[in-house]
Structure 1
Amino acid sequence: MAKTYSNKINKIRSFALALIFIGVIVMYGGIFFRDNPIVMLIFITLGMLSILFSMVVYFWIGMLSTKAVVVTCPNCEKQTKVLGRVDMCMYCREPLTLDPNLEGKEFNEDYNKKKKESAQN
């Protein structure tokens, strides 16, 4: 089974959206404990923390998105944002790179990871 890739910005936004849904579901779970106010308060607090963390993630990806390089996708010719050395088009999932050394190579997200350079004496 081939691994599916997607744009990094969209991945992080999807994670933040999932946190919102998880928080709402956890808060609704507190309704089942109406008879025990302490347990109900714990569920509501956990749900609110999840939603607040989602807000932090949305703020962070918004700030990161402003620093992303805007390029025109050669496949669909729409403007998309690239984070790191390699990324996918937000619309057509075309592999994109800003590094001329990686052009023509097979797409791999590991190109974005910084390699530990050995100390040279």
Structure 2
Amino acid sequence: MAGKLAYTSKINKIRSFALILIFVGFAVMYGGILAKKIEWLMLALFLLGLMFILLSCVIYLWIGMLSTRAVPIVCPSCEKRTKMLGRVDACMHCKQPLTLDKDLEGKIFDERYNNRKFRRQAKADNEE
């Protein structure tokens, strides 16, 4: 199992990053409580922690808006509804690699297929 790659959904990756930002913000604010003897440091840490939490809120808003445009599909493996962003993505539930692009069916799953520069390079390599 160590050699098997585990893919994750892009939406879940971004949501996880936003959640980590919230915890980092709380930890920085907790550092402000520990530094209450030095008022300017306490204030700076509280404001920095607040900035992390506000950035997390902005990311949650952005991914929520992006999620409304994502293509809803049914995973062929687990048969649960999932959302797909880009040309290739992974199921949110079972992490099955997914694509709606007929040109990529049967090819090795690579998340770089969502990158235009990589797609152009791969297309040029296939034409040679």
Q: Same fold (TM over 0.5)?
A: yes
Q: Out of 95, 98, 122, which is 1:96 matched to?
A: 98
CA distance in 2, matches of 1:44, 1:112: 38
| Identity between Structure 1 and Structure 2 (%) | 58
Question: Shift of the alpha carbon at 1:33?
Answer: 1.2
Tell me what 1:32 maps to.
Answer: 34
Question: Shift of the alpha carbon at 1:10?
Answer: 0.2
Q: List gaps (5 residues or longer) in structure 1.
A: none
CA distance in 2, matches of 1:83, 1:31: 41
1:1-121 matched pairs, under 5 angstroms? 2=3, 3-115=5-117
Give TM-score scaled by structure 2 length.
0.88
Give TM-score scaled by structure 1 length.
0.92
Tell me what 2:126 maps to.
Answer: none
Aligned-residue Cα RMSD (Å) equals 1.5
Which structure has greater helix proportion?
2
Please list the CA deviations of residues 13-65 of structure 1 after superposition, one character each: whole Å capped at 9, or x if unmatched: 00000000000000000112111110000000000000000000000000000
CA distance in 2, matches of 1:89, 1:54: 24
Question: Shift of the alpha carbon at 1:4?
Answer: 3.0
CA distance in 1, matches of 2:17, 2:37: 33
| SS of 1:115 mapped into structure 2 | helix
**Match of 2:100, as an amino acid?**
L
| SS of 1:96 mapped into structure 2 | strand
